Structure 1
Amino acid sequence: MLEFRTEGFNGYAVKYSPFFDSRIAVAASANFGLVGNGRLYILDLTPNGIVPLKWFTTQDSLYDIAWSEIHENQALVGSGDGSIKLFDATVDEFPIQGWKEHSREVFSVHWNLVAKDKFCSSSWDGTVKIWTPARPQSLLTLPTHSCTYSAAFSPHSPDILSCVSSDSYVRVFDLRTPAAANHLTMQIPIHGGASTSVPTKAGFAPASCPPSEALTHDWNKYRPSVLATAGVDRTIRTFDIRAPQQGPMSAMMGHDYAIRKVTWSPHLSHVLLSASYDMTCRVWSDGSDTGMAGGDADFMRSGPSAGPMMGRELGRMGRHTEFATGVDWCLFGSEGWCASCGWDERLCVWDVRAVMV
């Protein structure tokens, strides 16, 4: 395991470069993101360990990061002052571009993997905005009317994006639809209704628990209709947008506190990583590899009254000593390398296979 100290700054998000297998970016904030500066670190993995290539200090906290899909040296950050900034690792000191339309904290930024001239952001102001680096103003604003913690484009379509928010809904937008309904095509209650159930150690329990804030979500890289959500209730759920009325396909439980980040593996269709306020990062299977949940046969036989299947924890990494807030997979090489960051001012680079039971 490799480590780097973001001294004086508490990590919020980490992302591997889509262009270089040895480059990582970390978005961090002073004073746990409550007040003070932010800092973007561009780091290289070398034979001598993790070496900072460059860092940029900002006037306000940084909460998320996204690498550009069109320029290998550029990365976006979302800031506590409602701004989005684009930095270039070859340019000293200042962002090369900036946008400020959000009225509150920008908690997520995500670059479109298909239409690579666009990116999106979500904010505590209850909106998702779509941008292009070619324009100083946003292209489109999608209201959610609720504090929106995570927004992401589908990796399979240039026009579909989703978000999760404090009202416990996952919303799916299709930009090809008429604008009259703000392109909203689907609104799935994450906690379901009284007819659904959640697996527990003692059997099944009703899933009609009070809604709680959804903090993170991610699209499956291999199954275009599947996404995962997680948040304050400590449960990872997967949904198939082909049948939103059926509720979650699978549920993964085990974290002791809120889940801050969840991300699907870029190598295996059934594997996820999560980072939690319980100071652990965990690797999971949603069960689709064994037919437990999520396969087409399981999708066809399930009905509205069928509860989600139980995924399983494959292993955990417990080296963080404060909230684990960010985790990301390496896109290159063997299918186990990842990076995590947390409020303990540490970036950890580790191999998932080393912690699997």
Structure 2
Amino acid sequence: MDLVSFPLNDCHGYSVKFSPFIERRIACVASQNYGLSGSGFLFVLDLSPTNHLTLAVQSQWTDGLFDLAFAEDHPDIILTASGDGGIQLWDLKTPEVPKLVWKEHSREVCCLDWNQTRQQQLVLSSSWDRSIKLWDPKGTKSICTFLGHSDLVYNVTWSPHLPNCFASVSGDHTLCIWNSTKPGQPVVKLTAHATEVLACDWSKYDRNVIATGGVDGRIRAWDLRNTTAPCFELIGHEYAVKRLRFSPHQAHLLASCSYDMTTRVWDTRRLQPEVFAHHREFVYGLDFSCLSPDKVADCSWDRTVSIYTPPSVLNTE
């Protein structure tokens, strides 16, 4: 499997993302004391030609860090989300302190997403304060706030196909679809699971399909043209599904990670997964590389972040 890992010192991994500009670069955010107290750290790591992860940049924040987003318009800009309700904008050329801090959320910011359409640079944040906020990365305050969930908003993600469309999932069991130009109620709202919903991601190949992951351990895919029932369901995780990622390279591949300490790569045509159990604690972060078709990264509360090649990503049938 060609697994390469990097120790996160005494910090517990929360989120990992591949750079959209530098092929062999990832960034990971991790927090001391399981994010309950202490500082948060941003680790920027490069995969060397000899297949080792090396530290390129490290930054520290005064509170736990729970998610990050690479800028889509500059290779050295990263956003992080913190437990004090703040969002930090870092320039990796001067990583000692953030260039900008937004602090409008009243509770932990748990998810960030920078839009990928490149028509207009916009950022979404979601929080335990039950709100979603829209930001201009060059601005000093949010553009607008979206209120429609009745519980924590765990995940928010832009559609890769429709510039003004995004999705969110919440502890209120629902999946919502929003129009970013209309900050009223969601365009679509459906009960996705009988439990809290922690994760969602859009298909990169079908504009109408989005997957959700719940505390029930189930992954469900929804076709927004008919939401009366899931278009498929993946059952196998023993505990909550923390994060989902559709492959940007193969339409039938979907990765998931879970509190059951596994990462799985599913073939949605056969509803069967490859199971990877190299972590010893909850797996919190997960990403496919958009530049390297054979690379997946994950991070865990076991204080490690890993890059590897699942056999399924090499099968292009």
TM-score, structure 2 as length reference: 0.94
Are the aligned partners of 1:124 and 1:147 in contact in 2 as well (CA < 8 Å)? yes
Partner of 1:91: 94
Deviation at 1:332, TM superposition (A): 1.8
Are the aligned partners of 2:294 and 2:313 in contact in 1 as well (CA < 8 Å)? no
Partner of 1:256: 238
Deviation at 1:336, TM superposition (A): 2.9
What percent identity do the matched residue pairs reach?
36
Residue 122 (1) aligns with residue 133 (2): no
Deviation at 1:157, TM superposition (A): 1.4
CA–CA separation in structure 2 for the residues paired with 1:262 and 1:354: 16
- Out of 275, 278, 298, the residue aligned to residue 319 of structure 1 is 278
Partner of 2:36: 34
CA–CA separation in structure 1 for the residues paired with 2:13 and 2:181: 37
CA–CA separation in structure 2 for the residues paired with 1:99 and 1:86: 8
Deviation at 1:183, TM superposition (A): 4.6
Are the aligned partners of 1:231 and 1:258 in contact in 2 as well (CA < 8 Å)? yes
Once the two structures are superposed, what CA deviation does each residue of 1:40-71 show, in whole Å capped at 9, x if it has no partner? 00111112411111110110001111100011
CA–CA separation in structure 1 for the residues paired with 2:120 and 2:55: 27
Deviation at 1:349, TM superposition (A): 0.7
Residue 231 (1) aligns with residue 190 (2): no
Partner of 2:197: 214
Once the two structures are superposed, what CA deviation does each residue of 1:303-350 show, in whole Å capped at 9, x if it has no partner? xxxxxxxx52231111101111111111123x3311110001111110
CA–CA separation in structure 2 for the residues paired with 1:120 and 1:355: 29
Q: What do you get for the CA RMSD once the two structures are aligned?
A: 1.6
Deviation at 1:286, TM superposition (A): 2.0
Residue 64 (1) aligns with residue 67 (2): yes
Partner of 1:198: none
Are the aligned partners of 1:82 and 1:100 in contact in 2 as well (CA < 8 Å)? yes
CA–CA separation in structure 2 for the residues paired with 1:218 and 1:154: 9
- Out of 112, 116, 126, the residue aligned to residue 113 of structure 1 is 116
Are the aligned partners of 1:337 and 1:349 in contact in 2 as well (CA < 8 Å)? yes
Partner of 2:83: 80
- Out of 189, 192, 196, the residue aligned to residue 190 of structure 1 is 192
What is the one-letter code of the residue matched to 1:123?
A: S
Q: How does 1:1-357 map to 2 (within 5 A)?
A: 1-48=3-50, 49-114=52-117, 115-143=119-147, 144-177=149-182, 179=183, 182-191=184-193, 211-244=194-227, 246-287=228-269, 312-333=271-292, 335-353=293-311
TM-score, structure 1 as length reference: 0.84
Number of residue-to-residue matches in the alignment: 310
Deviation at 1:135, TM superposition (A): 1.3
Are the aligned partners of 2:294 and 2:314 in contact in 1 as well (CA < 8 Å)? no
Deviation at 1:28, TM superposition (A): 0.5
What is the one-letter code of the residue matched to 2:154?
A: Y
CA–CA separation in structure 2 for the residues paired with 1:168 and 1:232: 10
CA–CA separation in structure 2 for the residues paired with 1:354 and 1:187: 33
Deviation at 1:147, TM superposition (A): 0.6
Once the two structures are superposed, what CA deviation does each residue of 1:229-281 show, in whole Å capped at 9, x if it has no partner? 0021000000011112x221100010111111111001111210111111110
What is the DSSP-based 3-state SS (H/G/I as helix, E as strand, rest coil) of the residue aligned with 2:29?
Answer: strand
What is the one-letter code of the residue matched to 1:273?
A: A
What is the one-letter code of the residue matched to 1:56?
A: S
Deviation at 1:285, TM superposition (A): 2.0
Deviation at 1:30, TM superposition (A): 0.4
Asked which structure has the greater CA Rg, the reply is 1
Are the aligned partners of 1:315 and 1:356 in contact in 2 as well (CA < 8 Å)? no
Which runs of no fewer than 5 residues in structure 2 stay unpaired? none
Are the aligned partners of 2:46 and 2:53 in contact in 1 as well (CA < 8 Å)? yes
What is the one-letter code of the residue matched to 1:234?
A: G
What is the DSSP-based 3-state SS (H/G/I as helix, E as strand, rest coil) of the residue aligned with 1:128?
Answer: strand
CA–CA separation in structure 1 for the residues paired with 2:204 and 2:309: 20
Are the aligned partners of 1:314 and 1:356 in contact in 2 as well (CA < 8 Å)? no
Deviation at 1:352, TM superposition (A): 1.1
